[in-house]
Structure 1
Amino acid sequence: MLDGVLGFVRKHQRKLVITAGIAGGLYYSGKMLLGRLADMQEASAKERAAKDNIRRRFDMNQRDCLITIMSLLPELSEQLLHEVDVERLITELRAIHTAPKITAPAAVPGTNQSEAHDGGNTWSGSNVLGAGKEGGEQPSKPAAYEPTPAEEPQKRSKVEIWEDIKIQSFARTLIAVYSESLLTMLVHVQLSIIGRSTYLDSVVSKYTGDDVALEGRLVSRLSSSDEQHFLMLSWWLLNRGWRHLMALISDATHHCVGKLSLKERISHRELGALFASIHTRLRENGLAQTLPLILLPLGDTNVGDYLAANHLVAERVFTPVFTRLLDQLRDVIESPDFAFVFSSCIDRLTAQLLEALQESFPEPLPAPAPRAPLPPTIDGEAAPDLDDVVKEFEHFSVPQESRVVVVQLLPRIAREGHQILNGVPNQYLENVSASREVQALSAAVYTAEDSSA
């Protein structure tokens, strides 16, 4: 039997060697493939864990943005409400209504009425000087103080005050819309840059513990002072930049709203067109090109003002890391993407503002109920009823819009400016922070390559 097996092996030796080689190759290939699959699974698990880590960090970063903006808004609100003080104008207007009327005093015995009242003064000039008539001198009387024309306060009419209320109500609310949009975007970009730098530093520390070249670029450690100085840049918008924004918006508002009569009745659609005309005017005046000057202290004069106001020393602020972060921030602000997102934020908040103002427009009156048919004529025929013809015509006409007098809208427009900055909860801020455009810009900055490092 053994001889038979050996003979079979000698006879099929080549085939057996080939078969063994194939089997061995399959075994080792399978083992290698399994090892490769295990490595791929491990790499995939690490990649998922890294993505989850980035996603968690990004979500936390967005929550930090909302909290930071809410803490900064009161500083902006206090200055804006003080500079554009619509309430002071309303108080001035009420003072005119409640001011007592000055009546002429009663005549003093022994004098005629023309002497007792001369141009609003209690006594005439001759009596004050004690000049007597024939038959004796009259005792002198104390003279009432008569202010000179230069000392008299310039009193404005009600119409002039209402015109100021009209302009400032529109301007203040729009300044709140634009400044809150810019503050939201600025903080999101700042914290996204900080978050990205912090994440890269954590990766470097995990694997090396030292600064290393990551993908050919040096990763510099972000110190707490660099981070603090970088985040302090929002001070410029809150204390200087918004005033430049106020001047631009006030000019556009005067141009578009100044010619609007206080007694004019407008519809909600026309109010939206009015806001749109102001936005268009701002775009034509180059607002997008001035955003870097509004958001950052650019130029030696502005930098000096910024440092002096915050008691900072240039040598301690402008470190290589801070300069790199500032360059990244400026690149984002000057990019077309930033201008696009800013425009979308303005449209979003304006739509929310118009939705809130919709409550000031009453619903159109319902169509009157159909009347009873007219009685027949003498000939027994039905009288022609024009109501049916009118209804048929109205079916093809535009439905009538409710209209409100402009002066009645001003208090509500002014109040919405308060809501934009001070609302609790602040639905305007939540709306713009949660917009897809702002989130996309934040994600793009958070995951961008650091080309300036």
Structure 2
Amino acid sequence: MIGATRRWFRRNRTNFAIGAGVLGAGYLAGQYALGKLSEARQRMSDDRIAKENLRRRFEQNQEDCTFTVLAILPTATENLLDAVPVEQVLEELQKQKAERLARSVGPSEIASTAPPSVADTTEDDAKSSTFQSESYVHASQIAGEGESVVTTGSAEGSAESGERSSKRSKAQLWSEMKISSITRAFTLLYTLSLLTLLTRIQLNLLGRRNYLASVVTLASPPPANQESRISLENHDDDNFEQAYGNDFETNRRYLSLSWWLLHKGCLNLMEKVRVAVKDVFGTLNPREEITIERLSELTLEVRKRVEGATEEERRTRKWLPYLLPSHEQEDYVLRESGMTTSEDVTSPTTATSLRRLIDETSDLIDSPAFTHVLTRLLDAAFSHLIDVKISQLSYKIPPISESTARVQEIVGSDVKAKVASSLAVFCRQAHNIGSGANNEYLAAIEQVRDLEAFAAVVYSSNFEVESPDFTSTRPTTMVDESNRTSMATSGVDPLAPGLSQPATARESVADPSFESAWGKALAKEDGKPY
């Protein structure tokens, strides 16, 4: 029995060996497959966490941009209001009106006479909305003054000729008020749009550096002597080194460059807008009644003179001088903004890092994508001013809705209003445009989808041009993987040629790959581009 069994095993030993080998190979293959599956699950989990972290960082960055604009916009508003004192012109008009009234009536009648700015208003103008601040201009005051711009009574004859020789005439004052009120409102719209884009570029560039710093920190293993220690890190808001990378001094000086737009650029832009407004609105009579379509056409003509009449002119329009100082004026801006003094000596590392940020920002501003987004932002801002505010407050046209769209189309196009009543809305809305709280114009601008797409491209591209401190300790594959993850979050093709290859800041913006990524970021949900 035992011998028979032994002989049977001897005859089938080859089959047993093959079977054992197959079983062993199957076991090893199964373990290998399970290990790879576990690794794939872990990788997918890590990628999902990384994408969610990146998305959270990006969204928080955009909220920071909004709060930053609201915080610094009143500075530019104050400078523009001081440069274009419309309210002072109105006070001078009212003073001249009171003097004319005093000469035309007796002293006993003056005491019982109502204020001239109210008594001289027409019935239609009295229904205009009032301003809630003493610095605001009353709509009825402007309209009442507008009624008398072109009228010259006999009582203003030889008795006033001597006094008017040293004063500006009523027509001159009204013409200045017309040009100034429109110029101020339009300039604030341009300033708000430019400041929004500049802030998005600055904070997204610095947010990208902060993201890279965090990735490098996680990727770098701790020293051997610290592996078993518990380390405490300061992640509070007062830890400035964690705010935007490791070079807080460079980032602080870089952000202070917005001083130029707030104090100099907006005033230079105002002169350009004033020339365009004077050419377009200069011959318009304040007593003239025009439709909202006519006002929109005049506004569009001003924009063409400022931004460019054709697509090619708008593409080549240079906005950089209004946003950033020239190379020779950078030290002046840093001193005026309180970042440096005449005795401060900038370290070579800070100077190099700051120069890299300024150069990349300048290239982004000069890119066609910047001009495209700026045009969209201005479209939204001017539409809110003309089609919403002036349409409702001056022309008394109700807001457009699905139920009243057809009625709006039929009736709204024939409604006319005096230019004077529209100027009242321009004066009031100038304060709302430059407001640092509950700014509905900024809310309208941020509804433009192109703005977030542009910020996503800035945030996700050109990881390789950052400081060597970030990239020297990091494998190339990690840089590429982080780049792809962030671009996938923003809707940009991570495999776009050129984006994952080293390039300088200027080359990356001029390279077609940047425009390719920008175009893909603008793709609609149905796959069609804008």
- Indicate whether the TM-score tops 0.5: yes
Question: Does structure 1 retain, via aligned residues, the 8 Å contact 2:373–2:450?
Answer: yes
- Decide whether the 8 Å contact of 1:233 with 1:296 is kept in 2: yes
Q: Is the 1:328–1:452 Cα contact (8 Å) retained in structure 2?
A: no
**CA–CA separation in structure 2 for the residues paired with 1:254 and 1:426:** 28
Q: Within 5 Å, which residues of 2 pair with 1:102-251?
A: 102=103, 154-208=166-220, 222-251=246-275
Residue in 2 that maps onto 1:409: 422
Cα separation, partners in 2 of 1:209 and 1:293, compared to 1, 3 Å: farther
CA distance change for structure 1 residues 291 and 26 in 2, over 3 Å: closer, same or farther?
same
2:95 and 2:454 map into 1 onto residues whose CA distance is 50
Greater percentage in helix: 2
Q: What corresponds to 1:296 in structure 2?
A: 324
Give RMSD over aligned pairs: 2.9
Q: CA deviation at 1:183?
A: 0.6
Residue 283 (structure 1) aligns with? 307
Q: CA deviation at 1:18?
A: 3.0
The TM-score normalised by the length of structure 2 is: 0.64
Q: Distance in 2 between matches of 1:277 and 1:25?
A: 79
Amino acid at match of 1:356: K
Partner of residue 346 from structure 2, selected from 289, 307, 316: 316
Deviations 1:32-86 (A, max 9, x none): 0111111111122112111121122222212211111111011111111111111
Q: Which runs of 5+ in 1 are unaligned?
A: 104-148, 211-219, 365-396
Which stretch shifts more, 188-197 or 303-312? Answer: 303-312
Q: Relative to structure 1, is the Cα distance of residues 11 and 398 closer, same or farther in structure 2, using a 3 angstrom cutoff?
A: same
Q: How far off is 1:254 after superposition? A: 1.2
Instruction: Give unmatched runs, 5+ long, in structure 2.
Output: 105-160, 223-243, 399-408, 467-530
Partners of 1:230 and 1:326 within 8 A in 2: yes
Taking a change above 3 Å as real, the CA distance of residues 253 and 2 of structure 1, as seen in their structure-2 partners, is: farther
1:330 aligned residue (362, 374, 383): 362
What is the identity, as a one-letter code, of the residue corresponding to 1:163? S
Q: Percent identity?
A: 30
1:290/1:30 CA distance change after superposition, 3 Å: same
Letter in 2 for 1:278: V
SS in 2 for 1:263: coil
Give 1:351's match in structure 2, choosing from 383, 399, 410. Answer: 383
Q: Which residue of 2 is the match for residue 386 of structure 1?
A: none
Match of 1:305 among 314, 332, 337: 332
Q: Structure 1 residue 48 and structure 2 residue 48: aligned?
A: yes
Residue 63 of structure 2 is aligned to residue 58 of structure 1: no
Contact 1:222 1:321 in 2 (8 A): no
CA distance in 1, matches of 2:432, 2:60: 26
Q: Answer with 260-269 or 272-281: which moved more.
A: 260-269
- Residue in 1 aligned with 2:431? 418
Report the alpha carbon displacement of residue 237 of structure 1 after superposing the two structures with TM: 0.5
**1:125 alignment counterpart:** none
User: What SS does the aligned partner of 2:286 have?
Assistant: coil
Q: Deviations over 1:284-339 (max 9, x none)?
A: 38676331111111132x23532443453584275222122112211211111111
How far, CA to CA, are the matches of 1:324 and 1:402 in structure 2?
54
Mapped to 1, the partners of 2:221 and 2:20 lie a distance apart of 51
Alpha-carbon distance in 1 for matches of 2:250, 2:436: 33
Question: Would you say the 8 A contact 1:175–1:246 is kept in 2?
Answer: yes
Q: Distance in 1 between matches of 2:84 and 2:430?
A: 11
Letter in 2 for 1:290: K
Provide TM-score, normalisation by structure 1.
0.74
Amino acid at match of 2:197: M
| Correspondence for 2:372 | 340
By how many angstroms is 1:173 displaced? 0.7
Further displaced range: 26-35 or 280-289: 280-289
Question: Does the CA contact (< 8 Å) of 1:237 and 1:294 recur in 2?
Answer: yes
SS in 2 for 1:232: helix
Q: Deviations over 1:344-365 (max 9, x none)?
A: 100011111121111121359x
Cα separation, 2, equivalents of 1:362 and 1:36 = 69
Which string of whole-angstrom CA distances, capped at 9 and with x for unpartnered residues, describes residues 170-228 of structure 1? Answer: 11111011000111111111111111111212222333389xxxxxxxxx963221111
